[in-house]
Amino acid sequence: MRVLFCVKHLVGRGGQEGYLRRLATFLVARGHQVEVICARADDIPGIRCTRVRLPAMVARPAWDWAAARAVVAESVRHPCDVSFGGQKMWGCNVLRLGGGVEHEFWEMRLTDRYRWAPLRAAARLMIVKRRFDLNAERRAFSDPALRRVVVNSDMVRRGLIGTYPWMADRVEVVYNGADIARFAPASDAAARTQVQRDLNLDPGLLTAVFAGFDYRRKGLPQALEALALLKRRDPARRTQMIVMGVKAQSGVARLVARLGLSGEVRLIGNTPCAEKYYAASDFLLFPTYYDPCANVTFEALASGLPVITTRRNGGSEIVADDREGWTVEHPDRIDEMAAHIEALHDRARLSRMQAAARRLAETHPLEDKLAAIEAVLVEAAREKDTQKG
């Protein structure tokens, strides 16, 4: 089967891009012919990539729109059995909404930022990027070429159907899953100790981990406030944290110092070895404002880490409270997060939940999820061929 990927960018940074690279590689290994059209991409062995040219002067709010237009225009020159598109892309047979529903994302973002309704209404009109994003999304879901939409959580499915009800019978939920071979519980105590020594961490303290370069949307300030609150309440419950994706030179370092957590928090920036930092931690603290299905949820579970996250993370749907972690309603529930962290200081409970986390991840291996998307592509290609005949 000839599969044409139509995406804006396919570079190493970011969960969505990494997932699409894994999918493309998986499809090639399964015997399919994969070609990529995009504006930005790293090379992928065995896959032909056509990079489109954008106008010299594209305003930042319009970049996604301009990139999508250029990719769609180029795609007509590349015959295929099925075309597969990413976020804010139209003209494809199958779309995967790795970033969720744009309409729902923008409404959540504006509601959190502007509590006064008239200010929200004004922002809807004035934010240029929002208008471009919603236009791209509406165009995608009104395109007659579209056969199937893959979403990565039921939260996104509900948002999609609520906004575009005619898509109800064409949506498939496929959770992200995790590479359960790469991400696994620490089996080497010496390796865990070495990471703690390298980061100057106290091996006797409970250790949280956070991952995400878009740290405000991912709720890092709220995570830090929860740690600080617990430390003030009971210094014996001090909890340290490894923060991946945020550099020590960032403004977060000032917040860490202001909260009195300089001795407990380590900002390590981007790393290609996330698995070793998960293995050196005890649980994931991820109070995100919006994540359709955060990859870090599955990576942490596979590493044997309970997850404390929010209802706004679609990945929370598979986590049962007090079994594999806890889900709070909103990132601002600082007291509730602090209480859950405190509960994990019970080492017997922590051990039980860590074992449950790994068992859950083993029911969501990445290969199964990629195979499920492959099945959607095959079915869409069959429908397309039938209608053509």
Q: What is the pLDDT of residues 289-340, one digit of tens each?
A: 999 999 999 999 999 999 999 999 999 999 999 999 999 999 999 999 999 9
pLDDT value at residue 248: 82
Is 152 found in the same domain as 201? no
- CATH number of the domain where residue 225 is located: 3.40.50.2000
Kindly tell me if the per-residue pLDDT of 249 is higher than 80. no
In a domain, 343, yes or no: yes
Q: In which domain, by residue range, is 83 found? A: 2-102+128-177+366-384
Secondary structure element (H or E) that encloses residue 20, with its range? helix 15-29
Give percent of the chain with pLDDT exceeding 70. Answer: 99
Q: Six-digit token pair at 379?
A: 């079915």
In a domain, 232, yes or no: yes
Is this model's pTM higher than 0.85 or not? yes
Which residues are within 8 A (CB) of 41 and not within 5 positions of it... i.e. 6 or more apart? 9, 10, 11, 49, 51
Mean pLDDT of the chain: 94
pLDDT value at residue 187: 73
Mean pLDDT within 71-94: 96
Is 373 found in the same domain as 286? no
Kindly tell me if the per-residue pLDDT of 104 is higher than 70. yes
Mean pLDDT within 73-90: 96
Mean pLDDT within 248-274: 92
Contact 319, 309 (CB under 8 A): yes
In a domain, 123, yes or no: no
Q: What does the alpha-carbon distance between residue 61 and residue 58 come to, in Å, rounded to a whole number?
A: 8
Is 265 found in the same domain as 316? yes
Q: What does the alpha-carbon distance between residue 260 and residue 320 come to, in Å, rounded to a whole number?
A: 32
In a domain, 114, yes or no: no
Is 240 found in the same domain as 351? yes
Which of the four pLDDT bands, split at 50, 70 and 90, describes residue 190?
Answer: confident
Kindly tell me if the per-residue pLDDT of 32 is higher than 80. yes
Q: What is the pLDDT of residues 193-208, one digit of tens each?
A: 899 999 999 999 999 9
Is 244 found in the same domain as 139? no
Is 372 found in the same domain as 334? no
pLDDT value at residue 260: 97
pLDDT value at residue 389: 58
In a domain, 115, yes or no: no
Mean pLDDT within 55-68: 91
Which of the four pLDDT bands, split at 50, 70 and 90, describes residue 75?
Answer: very high
Which of the four pLDDT bands, split at 50, 70 and 90, describes residue 14?
Answer: low
Is 142 found in the same domain as 237? no
The total of structural domains in the chain comes to 2
Is 157 found in the same domain as 209? no
pLDDT value at residue 17: 85
In a domain, 117, yes or no: no
Kindly tell me if the per-residue pLDDT of 15 is higher than 80. no
Higher pLDDT, 189 or 30: 30
**Separation in Å, CA 259 to CA 38, 224, 264, 310:** 43, 8, 11, 22
The distance in angstroms from the start CA to the end CA of the chain is: 17
Kindly tell me if the per-residue pLDDT of 385 is higher than 90. no
Question: Can you name the residues that pair with 7 across neighbouring β-strands?
Answer: none
Is 202 found in the same domain as 161? no
Kindly tell me if the per-residue pLDDT of 188 is higher than 80. no
Give percent of the chain with pLDDT exceeding 90. Answer: 84
Mean pLDDT within 241-270: 93
Is 278 found in the same domain as 347? yes
Kindly tell me if the per-residue pLDDT of 13 is higher than 70. no
In a domain, 121, yes or no: no
Is 88 found in the same domain as 225? no
In a domain, 172, yes or no: yes
Mean pLDDT within 39-49: 89
Is 283 found in the same domain as 376? no
pLDDT value at residue 320: 98
Higher pLDDT, 157 or 58: 157
Q: Is 180 exposed, middle or buried (0-12, 13-18, 19+ CB in 10 A)?
A: buried
Strands lying side by side in the sheet with 206-211: 265-269, 239-244, 206-211, 283-286, 307-310, 325-328
Which of the four pLDDT bands, split at 50, 70 and 90, describes residue 112?
Answer: confident
